[in-house]
Structure 1
Amino acid sequence: MSLNFRRFRSAVVTASAAAIAATAALVPTASAATLTPQQVAGNAPQSVVSDLEVTPAVADRTWFQKFGNDPRVLKLQATSPAMNGRVVPLAVIPAGEPGRPTIYLLNGAGGAEQQQDWLTMSQLVDFYADKKVNVVVPQAGAFSYYTDWISEPNGAYLKGPQKWETFLTKELPGPLEARLGANNKRAIAGMSMSAGSAFSLAQHNQGFYDAVGSFAGCGLTAYPLQYEFVRVTVNRGGAQPEQMWGPMGSDTNRWNDAFMNAEQLRGTELYISSASGLAAEQDLPGYYIQRGYDPLVSTIGSAQLIIEGGIIEAAVNNCTHMMKAQLDKKGIPADYNFRNTGTHSWPGWREDIEKSWGTFWRAFYAK
C-alpha cells in the first residue's frame, strides 16, 4: 500500500462530520436506574483500578501518543479476575468534580489494538472535556463483542478467556466509580460491533443503566444472515462465533440478541442511529481532491469506502429499522438519528458523539 494511499485512508476516517449541536426530541421520561454496582456485582471479585503502567504496547498506541500528556484524560488500568487477572487500559475523561454520572463508551471491532478507537478517531475529548460527566473508554477488547464467551479462543487478537460483560458490569463499575467519586447514574454506548453489545449489557442488567447509545450497529445476532455478520467480525480476531455464543439460535446466542430481548430496554433512555449506506459528501473522491490529495489515490480510496462501507452500513440500516419496528410495537420510545446518506465510517460516529448527548443529559438530569 503506497504512502499516498495510506494518507488518503487516514483522511477518510478522520474527516470530521459537521458539528451539530442538537437537542434530542422529547419522549416520555424513563425511570431512573436503581441498581448499584454492588448489587449487580453480587459476590463477583472486584477489579483493582490503578494508574496506567506504560508498557511498550501502550506506548505504541496512537491514543496514548496523542493524550499521554493531556491532563484532560486520566490514564488508568483495571484488572479482570474473570479473565485471569488481565489488565485492561482505561482512557477516562473525568467530570472534574464528585457526584457526577458515568458514560461507558465501547470501541468498535478493531478498537485501540488497530488504532481505531474513540480517542484516536474522534473529537471525544474536546467534546466531553467540559460536560461534567465521567467518560470511560476501555482500550482493549478488539473483536470480542464485549460479551462473555463460552470457550477460550486462541486467535491473533482473541486469546484466553473473554469475559467482557462480567468485567464491564460486575468487576469494574464499583472500584472505578468509587475512585471517580461518581454518582449512581450511568450510560453505556457503542459503535459498529459494540452497538448491539450496549443493548445487551443493559438488557442483562435492567435498572443499572439510565441510557444506552447504539451507533450504527446490529442488535440482531440469532438469525442466519446476522449470525454470519457476526462471524465476519470475530473471524478478523482469529475466532468463530460458535466459540463466543455457541451455534446460531442457541440459548446463549438468543440471550445476546437485542431484538429478541427488546422488552428489557423498557424504562431506559435510548439513542439509536444508522445511515443509509449511500455515499455522503465525505465519501466522494472530489471531497479529497479539493483538499490536495492525489486524484488517483482519492478515487481508489473512495471506491473502496463507497462499496465496502456502503454495503456494511446498508445492512446495519436494515437491522436498525427492524429494531425500531420492534421497539415501536412494544411502545418503547427512543431518539433516532437516521442519516439519509453515509457509509460505515467515522464521520457518522463523530456526529453521534454530539447528538447522543441530549439523550444522556435527559437520562442523567431530567428525572
Structure 2
Amino acid sequence: MNVHIRGTIGLRLVTVLRFAAAVLTFAAVPILAPVSASAVRAPAADGSRLDHPDGSHLDHTVRIDDRRSRLYVYSAAMRRVIALDFIRAADTGAPRPTLYLLDGAEDGIGWDGTETSWETKTDLIPFTADKNVNVVTVLDGRYSYYTDWQSDDPVLGRNRWTTFLTRELPPIIDAAYDTSGRNAIAGVSMSATSALALAESAPGLYAAVGSFSGCAQTGADPGRRYVQAVVASGGGNPWNMWGPDGSPAWTANDPSTDANLRALRGVDLYLSAGTGGPDAAGVTPPAGGMLESVVATCTRKLQASTTRLGIPATFQYVPGGQHSWPYWQQSLHAAWPGFARALGI
C-alpha cells in the first residue's frame, strides 16, 4: 500500500493495518449487468444543462430502464465526474423527496469496473417500486468516509464529499427531477458514520438519517483506529483526511460529540447494529460477527449520549447480526416507516 508515513506514525499504521486485516470483512463484488444498448445519453433529464453556481453540473445521464438511470455529475470541489445510480419515484405526478444512499468502504464501482452497491446487494429496486421517493446511490468515494479531506491523497485522490453531498449534489438533483426538496440519507459500515456527520454539517438538509453498523466515535478509540484502518486498507494515508493522529479535526469531525449530536435534534434517526453473538436460532455468525460486536459497543455508547441529551432516536440491535448486506437490507426496511413520515410521504 502506498502509505507515505515515517517513524512512529508508520509503526502505528502497521498496527492499524493488522487490525484492518482482522476486522474488515466485506461481501464478494458482483459484476454489474451491462447497460442496455437502447440506453440514451443526455445532459440532463429535461435535455438542458444544469449548473451549480460553482461550476458543478449534471454532465450526462444513461437510461437503464423506465425507472433507473446512471447519472454522471461533475463536482467542482473534486474536479471530476461522480457516478450515481438513480431510481425514480413510483408516482412522478408531483414533486417527490429524495433518499440518498451511501455504500461501504469497498463498495461502489471498483477499480476493475465491477459494482457492489445497494442496487446489486439488496432488494432496493423492488422494495422502492411502490414508494413515492427518488433514490440516489453514490457509486464513488471508496475508503473516503465521505468527508472533506484536508489534503489530496496519492492513492485516493481529492476528496471533498461533505461539500459534494451537502452543497453541490442536492440542488442539481432537485432541479433535474423537480423534487420536493425534502431528503433522507443512510449509510452502512464506513458510511454509517458519514451519514450522521453529513446531517450534522448541514442542519435541515436531511429530515431522516439511517446509520447501519457504524462506529461513530472518530475522535476516540476504538472508533478512531477503526477509521484509520479503513482508510489505510484502501491504500490511503489517514493523516491526509483530518490531519495527523490526534489533531483537533479528528474530534471536530466526530459525530458522537455532544456539540455535533445537538444538530440532529428533530431529525428522524434510525441506528442499527448486530450483536455479534448467536442469532435467534442459536447459530454463531462467522468473522463478520466479531466486527459487528465492536460496532454494537460503539452504537450503545452513542445511544447513551442521545438519551442523556434528550435527542429522540431509534436503536435496533439484531441478534447475531453480521457486518453484511442482508442485515443492512433488513435495517432499511425497518427504518422506512420513520423515513416516510419525515419525508412527508
Q: TM-score, normalised by structure 2?
A: 0.79
Q: SS at 1:82's partner residue?
A: coil
Distance 1:70 1:167, change over 3 A: same
Q: SS at 2:186's partner residue?
A: strand
1:322 maps to which residue? 301
1:210 maps to which residue? 207
Distance 1:257 1:110, change over 3 A: same
Report matched runs for 1:44-193 at 5 Å: 45-52=54-61, 69-84=64-79, 86-95=80-89, 96-97=91-92, 98-114=94-110, 115-155=115-155, 158-159=156-157, 161-193=158-190
1:271 maps to which residue? 270
Q: Kindly indicate whether the alpha-carbon contact (under 8 Å) linking 1:12 and 1:283 is maintained by their aligned counterparts in 2.
A: no
Give the letter aligned to residue 204 of structure 1: S
Distance 1:139 1:281, change over 3 A: farther
Q: Deviations over 1:323-361 (max 9, x none)?
A: 000000000011222112211111110101211111101
1:44 Cα deviation from its structure 2 partner = 6.1
- Separation in structure 2 between the aligned mates of residue 283 and residue 172 of structure 1, nearest angstrom: 45
1:12 Cα deviation from its structure 2 partner = 8.6
- Separation in structure 2 between the aligned mates of residue 190 and residue 75 of structure 1, nearest angstrom: 20
2:252 maps to which residue? 255
Q: Kindly indicate whether the alpha-carbon contact (under 8 Å) linking 2:26 and 2:324 is maintained by their aligned counterparts in 1.
A: no
Distance 1:88 1:270, change over 3 A: same
1:278 Cα deviation from its structure 2 partner = 1.8
Distance 1:44 1:202, change over 3 A: farther
RMSD of the TM alignment (CA)?
Answer: 2.5
Q: Kindly indicate whether the alpha-carbon contact (under 8 Å) linking 2:102 and 2:191 is maintained by their aligned counterparts in 1.
A: yes
Q: 1:346 aligns with which of 303, 325, 331?
A: 325
Q: Deviations over 1:229-264 (max 9, x none)?
A: 011111122112211011344232112101112112
Q: Kindly indicate whether the alpha-carbon contact (under 8 Å) linking 2:273 and 2:296 is maintained by their aligned counterparts in 1.
A: yes
- Separation in structure 2 between the aligned mates of residue 264 and residue 231 of structure 1, nearest angstrom: 25
Give the letter aligned to residue 337 of structure 2: G
Q: SS at 2:84's partner residue?
A: strand
1:221 Cα deviation from its structure 2 partner = 0.3
1:94 Cα deviation from its structure 2 partner = 1.1
Unaligned runs of 5+ in 1: 1-8, 15-42, 54-67, 285-302
- Separation in structure 2 between the aligned mates of residue 211 and residue 11 of structure 1, nearest angstrom: 27
Give the letter aligned to residue 75 of structure 2: S
Are 2:338 and 1:364 aligned?
A: no
- Separation in structure 1 between the aligned mates of residue 292 and residue 314 of structure 2, nearest angstrom: 19
Q: Deviations over 1:170-211 (max 9, x none)?
A: 111111111111012111110110001111111111122111
Question: Percentage identity across aligned positions?
Answer: 39
Q: SS at 2:83's partner residue?
A: strand
Unaligned runs of 5+ in 2: 1-24, 31-51
Distance 1:269 1:80, change over 3 A: same
2:48 maps to which residue? none
Q: Deviations over 1:17-48 (max 9, x none)?
A: xxxxxxxxxxxxxxxxxxxxxxxxxx961421
Give the letter aligned to residue 138 of structure 1: V
Are 2:227 and 1:234 aligned?
A: no
Bigger relative contact order, structure 1 or 2 (CA pairs below 8 A, ≥6 apart): 1
Give the letter aligned to residue 326 of structure 2: P
Distance 1:283 1:185, change over 3 A: farther
The alignment covers a number of residue pairs equal to 292
Distance 1:225 1:175, change over 3 A: same
Q: Kindly indicate whether the alpha-carbon contact (under 8 Å) linking 1:72 and 1:94 is maintained by their aligned counterparts in 2.
A: yes
Q: Kindly indicate whether the alpha-carbon contact (under 8 Å) linking 2:73 and 2:81 is maintained by their aligned counterparts in 1.
A: yes
Q: Kindly indicate whether the alpha-carbon contact (under 8 Å) linking 2:280 and 2:319 is maintained by their aligned counterparts in 1.
A: no
Question: Which one has the bigger helix percentage?
Answer: 1
- Separation in structure 1 between the aligned mates of residue 169 and residue 281 of structure 2, nearest angstrom: 38
Question: Which one has the bigger strand percentage?
Answer: 2
Q: TM-score, normalised by structure 1?
A: 0.74
Q: Deviations over 1:23-75 (max 9, x none)?
A: xxxxxxxxxxxxxxxxxxxx96142114336xxxxxxxxxxxxxx74322122
